[in-house]
């Protein structure tokens, strides 16, 4: 099964009257209506990199306090434009307005968190060394970093790389998702209005071709990527012979949620529905696989189904507000429908069917399918509102099922005893392991990343500071002082 969500080719060639390609553009569309949102030429990769290289040394030479002050001004610019930015996000990627507003809050919150993280994780330190000398540990920026953004959090996730990268003194080239250039442009303008130059933080619209060209460019010192595992692997492969380039990959997941003994069925169901269907299942940390103890199965699934049946899915600005918007585009909706049919025709049993009320628009209902009887379950990320359920009889089996994936982003245990949670925590392979909490909604104040196909051991979130600067160790003394104590004639 091809579970990967297919990307729509939005970097379209516009042909002039003579039939020659005169211009290449990025065009984004509102998922909820199909209306065009943004159109503009793709960035010139060589020019963009050359500009960043020229601008970087002066930015790196600014005092840290100046860079921090400019980023605080950026947060204020976002505050001023908050409603406009939220509306653009909601239009361009289809998420409900309330959720787009929460994304904007995360963009603002990222600044103070990143300032704290820089100070705590990459500040200067001096240690006493031998002979009254000093050992200093300081950090330097890498240079020009390209940030490749995903569509599902088109402002917050690229911003989660951009802000720490700028604080550390890097110049940034920001290539937003080709599905969300309007959001990217608006975010970039907030940096520029704050006084960070358009050469230090460049907005570079484009699609996969421009992304790949930036990755391969000699003038780029590192790639900060959030997106699918397939793209992450392509980037990693492209840079396999370039250990000199920094590569931070935040990729997808096939995340398990285990429901064990609990009397709190309504809360358990709310955690499941939130984890599986928030953002229409288009979150890297969304619960994809629900692993349920067989003695709890009927009671848990009845609550989950009842709640999922109440979920409103609709357009971002609908009243009453929907819980879920559409998926990103028709190609994604087609791919998810095919995936659901594949599961059904290979031994899955539908608990709640995937419904697409209008086949010209990408609205999908939440869907739940029991795949316990499937002989081989595809270990792919279904990036949408499809929850697969697996029934197990003992806790070891639950842990084995949770680990039956090449990914390793988020995992959660609902119910169980403290001892069971300890076993779960110790044995489950993931970068986020929660207890009685959703799989989604990672904290800014914690590292955020996964193992396996979910990342390359460079978590973002609070630990983004670590990959935005490299440590330099310096033994230092005001005057040369040295003697050779042995082995001289």
> Contact region for ligand NAD (CB under 6 A) — 117-125, 183-191, 209-217, 295-303?
209-217
Closest distance of CB 298 from ligand NAD, Å: 32
CA distance 135 to 141: 20
404: exposed, middle or buried (Cβ count in 10 Å: 0-12, 13-18, 19+): middle
Is 38 an interacting residue with respect to ligand NAD (CB under 6 A)? no
Q: Site for ligand NAD (CB under 6 A): which residue of 118, 260, 383, 467?
A: 383
CA distance 382 to 332: 10
Q: Give pairs for 309-313: CB < 8 Å, separation 24+.
A: 309/352, 311/273, 311/277, 311/365, 311/366, 313/280, 313/363, 313/364, 313/365, 313/366, 313/385
CA distance 63 to 155: 27
Chain centroid to CA 58: how far?
30
CA distance 26 to 48: 16
Closest distance of CB 184 from ligand NAD, Å: 9
Q: Site for ligand NAD (CB under 6 A): which residue of 92, 178, 303, 401?
A: 178
CA distance 44 to 36: 23
Is 284 an interacting residue with respect to ligand NAD (CB under 6 A)? yes
Is 231 an interacting residue with respect to ligand NAD (CB under 6 A)? yes
Is 177 an interacting residue with respect to ligand NAD (CB under 6 A)? yes
In this complex, which beta carbon is closest to ligand NAD, that of residue 365 or of residue 454?
Answer: 454
In this complex, which beta carbon is closest to ligand NAD, that of residue 368 or of residue 440?
Answer: 440
Contact 448, 461 (CB under 8 A): yes
In this complex, which beta carbon is closest to ligand NAD, that of residue 251 or of residue 465?
Answer: 251
CA distance 489 to 487: 7
> Per the structure block, which two tokens stand in for 29?
């569309």
**Alpha helices of 177-228 — where are they, by DSSP H?**
181-193, 208-216
Closest distance of CB 141 from ligand NAD, Å: 22
Is 381 an interacting residue with respect to ligand NAD (CB under 6 A)? yes
Q: Site for ligand NAD (CB under 6 A): which residue of 139, 156, 175, 356?
A: 175
Q: Site for ligand NAD (CB under 6 A): which residue of 25, 30, 221, 250?
A: 250
In this complex, which beta carbon is closest to ligand NAD, that of residue 154 or of residue 415?
Answer: 154
Is 378 an interacting residue with respect to ligand NAD (CB under 6 A)? no
Is 148 an interacting residue with respect to ligand NAD (CB under 6 A)? yes
Q: Site for ligand NAD (CB under 6 A): which residue of 37, 113, 155, 157?
A: 157
List residues binding ligand NAD (CB under 6 A). 7, 148-153, 157, 175, 177-178, 207-208, 211-212, 215, 226-228, 231, 234-235, 250-252, 284, 381, 383, 409
């Amino acid at each position: 099964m091809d579970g990967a969500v297919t990307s729509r080719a939005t970097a379209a060639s516009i042909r002039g009257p003579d039939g020659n390609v005169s211009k290449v553009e990025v065009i984004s569309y509102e998922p909820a209506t199909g209306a065009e949102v943004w159109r503009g030429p793709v960035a010139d990769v060589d020019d963009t990199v050359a500009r960043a290289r020229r601008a970087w040394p002066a930015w790196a030479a600014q005092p840290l306090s100046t860079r921090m002050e400019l980023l605080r001004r950026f947060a204020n610019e976002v505050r001023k434009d908050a409603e406009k930015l939220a509306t653009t996000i909601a239009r361009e990627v289809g998420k409900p307005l309330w959720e787009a507003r929460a994304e904007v809050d995360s963009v603002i919150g990222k600044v103070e968190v990143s300032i704290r993280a820089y100070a705590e994780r990459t500040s200067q330190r001096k240690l006493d060394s031998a002979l009254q000398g000093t050992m200093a540990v300081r950090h330097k920026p890498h240079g020009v970093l390209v940030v490749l953004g995903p569509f599902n959090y088109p402002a917050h996730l690229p911003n989660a790389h951009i802000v720490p990268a700028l604080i550390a003194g890097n110049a940034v080239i920001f290539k937003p998702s080709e599905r969300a250039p309007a959001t990217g442009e608006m975010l970039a303008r907030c940096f520029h209005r704050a006084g960070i130059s358009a050469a230090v933080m460049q907005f570079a619209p484009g699609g996969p071709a421009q992304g790949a060209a930036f990755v391969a460019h000699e003038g780029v010192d590192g790639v900060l990527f959030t997106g699918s595992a397939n793209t992450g692997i392509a980037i990693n492969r492209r840079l396999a012979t370039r250990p000199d380039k920094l590569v931070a990959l935040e990729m997808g997941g096939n995340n398990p949620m285990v429901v064990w003994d609990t009397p709190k069925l309504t809360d358990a169901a709310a955690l499941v529905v939130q984890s599986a269907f928030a953002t229409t299942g288009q979150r890297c940390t969304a619960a994809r696989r629900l692993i349920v103890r067989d003695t709890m199965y009927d009671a848990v699934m009845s609550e989950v189904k009842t709640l999922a049946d109440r979920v409103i899915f609709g357009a971002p600005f609908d009243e009453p507000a929907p819980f879920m918007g559409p998926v990103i585009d028709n190609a994604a909706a087609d791919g998810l429908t095919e995936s659901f049919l594949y599961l059904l025709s290979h031994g899955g049993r539908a608990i709640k069917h995937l419904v697409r009320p209008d086949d010209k628009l990408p609205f999908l209902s939440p869907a739940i399918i029991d795949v316990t009887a499937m002989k081989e379950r595809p270990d792919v990320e279904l990036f949408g509102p499809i929850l697969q359920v697996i029934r197990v009889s003992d806790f070891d089996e639950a842990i084995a099922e949770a680990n039956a994936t090449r990914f390793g982003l988020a995992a959660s245990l609902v119910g169980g005893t403290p001892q069971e949670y300890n076993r779960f925590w110790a044995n489950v392979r993931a970068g986020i392991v929660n207890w009685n909490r959703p799989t989604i909604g990672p904290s800014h104040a914690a590292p955020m990343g996964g193992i396996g196909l979910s990342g390359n051991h460079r978590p973002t979130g609070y630990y983004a500071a670590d990959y935005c600067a490299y440590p330099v160790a310096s033994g230092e003394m005001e005057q040369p002082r040295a003697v050779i104590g042995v082995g001289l004639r």
